[in-house]
């Protein structure tokens, strides 16, 4: 009995020793606080939290930080941001998870290095943060990037993960999705974002530039805007195991001051893939000098499909539908469309104009309103940003529930 009690005490002590710790960063900090973020990172063990207290007068913590452990970085005060300036380089490895919650970076990038192992992704989470003058790049092999509720005035680049409820604006490409190191059956979710490229005279700048042929995509309730290609899908995963979805998005073409043809929604469906384009609204808000404006353009590979229905395309486009489609029906192209700055419908056109099936209903249980503010994933779920310390950032659930079946709902959240 005494031996068993002693063994139990040793086990409790061991567990206490491996419990994650909170490390405080404070200006002029004395032990046990740390006087710089890098000092706290260096001292931390895997699984620890780095809690950052802002400097007096909210002067940024100016330093270059390198992270090579599983850590969380978050603000000291509830419902606030920790203010920094500098580049954050995160060396990824198999099983490593780094979460950045509530960062306000006045001038600096977040970039991943290293790699995970095939089938065992490393994870970078960026939640409720702002990059005022920098890029967010998570393109290392086998790295999953989850970006939620953040504002990035620069380019976001990923190969795997989710991009949900963000505002991303860049003078060049705003959101870029590249192929992963190996094909997988993952689906990349791009939901509820406002994504814009602000350059008016460059023919290689896009709101979304997708060149990933290793993952499926589910892209819905975003507002894409650009003067050239608000939305460009250059390749798809060569498989019909999952339907690639482009649902309930708003698209705005801005002024393009060079010559050439402007495409609003451009999709290349690679061999054997299926792409559905549904419940979207496209607004030509341009008086530029382009040779022509095309609303939706489809290019179908061998045994591939592009199905387009219940879309509203502004009658100011030179060509509403270009290229080829497997199915093209129930689309509206004969009305003038004007979207609000946030991608919302203006003037009533498109209200109750989407797919009438119950699973696409709006939150008020009326027929789907086309565009970013219709359906279950309406942008009302995600904006305004930076409200509240804790947010549930994505829920997944079956859209059809039959009598006698179990309702399963999964939610992902963060707390700052």
Digitized pLDDT (tens) for each residue of the chain, 416 residues in all = 444 444 444 444 444 445 789 999 999 988 899 999 999 999 999 999 999 999 999 999 999 999 999 999 999 998 899 999 999 999 999 999 999 999 999 999 999 998 888 877 899 999 999 999 999 999 998 999 999 999 999 999 999 999 999 999 999 999 999 999 888 889 999 999 999 998 766 667 899 999 999 999 999 999 999 988 999 999 999 999 999 999 999 999 998 877 889 999 999 999 999 999 999 999 999 888 888 999 999 999 999 999 999 999 999 999 999 999 999 999 999 999 999 999 999 999 999 999 999 999 999 999 999 999 999 999 999 999 998 767 776 776 666 666 777 777 777 776 66
Beta-strand relationship, 319-323 and 312-313:
unpaired
Sign of the dihedral defined by the CA atoms of residues 115, 117, 118, 120, in that order? negative
The number of folded domains in the chain is 1
The span from the CA of 47 to the CA of 308, in Å, is 46
Answer whether residue 280 is part of any domain.
yes
Answer whether residue 392 is part of any domain.
yes
What is residue 23's three-state secondary structure?
strand
The span from the CA of 61 to the CA of 84, in Å, is 4
Answer whether residue 26 is part of any domain.
no
- Largest Cα–Cα distance in the chain? 88
Asked whether the beta carbons of 189 and 162 are under 8 A apart, the reply is yes
Answer whether residue 302 is part of any domain.
yes
**pLDDT at position 1, please?**
45
Residues pairing with 219 in the sheet: 190, 246
Sign of the dihedral defined by the CA atoms of residues 152, 155, 157, 163, in that order? positive
**pLDDT at position 83, please?**
98
**pLDDT at position 319, please?**
97
Answer whether residue 11 is part of any domain.
no
Tell me which residue range forms the domain holding 290: 78-415
Sign of the dihedral defined by the CA atoms of residues 179, 194, 242, 391, in that order? positive
Sign of the dihedral defined by the CA atoms of residues 107, 116, 193, 100, in that order? negative
Contacts of 51 (CB under 8 A, 6+ apart): 22, 23, 24, 25, 74, 75, 76
Answer whether residue 337 is part of any domain.
yes
Residues pairing with 114 in the sheet: 92
Answer whether residue 56 is part of any domain.
no
Answer whether residue 7 is part of any domain.
no
The span from the CA of 331 to the CA of 101, in Å, is 42
């Amino acid at each position: 009995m005494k031996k068993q009690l002693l063994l139990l005490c040793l086990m409790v002590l061991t567990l206490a020793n491996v419990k994650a710790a909170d490390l405080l960063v404070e200006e002029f900090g004395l032990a046990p606080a740390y006087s710089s973020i890098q000092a706290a990172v260096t001292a931390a063990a895997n699984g620890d939290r780095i809690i950052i207290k802002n400097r007096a007068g909210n002067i940024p913590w100016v330093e270059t930080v390198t992270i090579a452990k599983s850590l969380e970085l978050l603000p000291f005060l509830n419902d606030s941001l920790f203010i920094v300036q500098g580049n954050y380089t995160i060396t990824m490895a198999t099983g490593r998870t780094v979460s950045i919650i509530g960062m306000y970076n006045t001038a600096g990038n977040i970039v991943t290095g290293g790699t995970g192992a095939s089938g065992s992704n490393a994870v970078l989470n960026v939640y409720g943060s702002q990059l005022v003058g920098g890029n967010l790049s998570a393109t290392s092999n086998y790295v999953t990037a989850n970006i939620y509720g953040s504002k990035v005035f620069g380019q976001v680049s990923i190969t795997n993960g989710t991009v949900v409820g963000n505002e991303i604006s860049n003078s060049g490409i705003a959101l870029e999705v590249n192929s992963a190191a190996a094909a997988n059956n993952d689906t990349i979710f791009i939901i509820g974002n406002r994504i814009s490229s602000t350059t008016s005279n460059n023919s290689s700048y896009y709101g979304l530039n997708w060149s990933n042929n290793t993952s499926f995509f589910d892209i819905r309730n975003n507002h894409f805007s650009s003067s050239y290609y608000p939305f460009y899908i250059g390749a798809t995963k060569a498989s019909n195991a999952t339907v690639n979805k482009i649902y309930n998005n708003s698209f705005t073409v801005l002024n393009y001051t060079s010559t050439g043809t402007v495409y609003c929604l451009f999709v290349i469906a690679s061999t054997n893939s299926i792409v559905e384009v549904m419940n979207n609204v496209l607004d030509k808000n341009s008086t530029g000098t382009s040779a022509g404006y095309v609303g939706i353009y489809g290019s179908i590979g061998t045994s591939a499909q592009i199905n387009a229905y219940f879309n509203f395309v502004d009658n100011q486009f030179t060509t509403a539908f270009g290229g080829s489609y497997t199915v093209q029906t129930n689309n509206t192209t004969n009305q003038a469309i004007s979207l609000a700055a946030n991608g919302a419908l203006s003037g009533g056109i498109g209200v109750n104009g989407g797919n009438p099936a119950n699973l696409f209903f709006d939150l008020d249980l009326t027929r789907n309103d086309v565009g970013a503010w219709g359906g279950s994933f309406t942008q009302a779920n995600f904006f305004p940003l930076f409200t509240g310390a804790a947010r549930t950032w994505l829920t997944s659930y079956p859209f059809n529930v039959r009598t006698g079946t179990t309702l399963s709902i999964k939610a992902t959240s963060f707390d700052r």
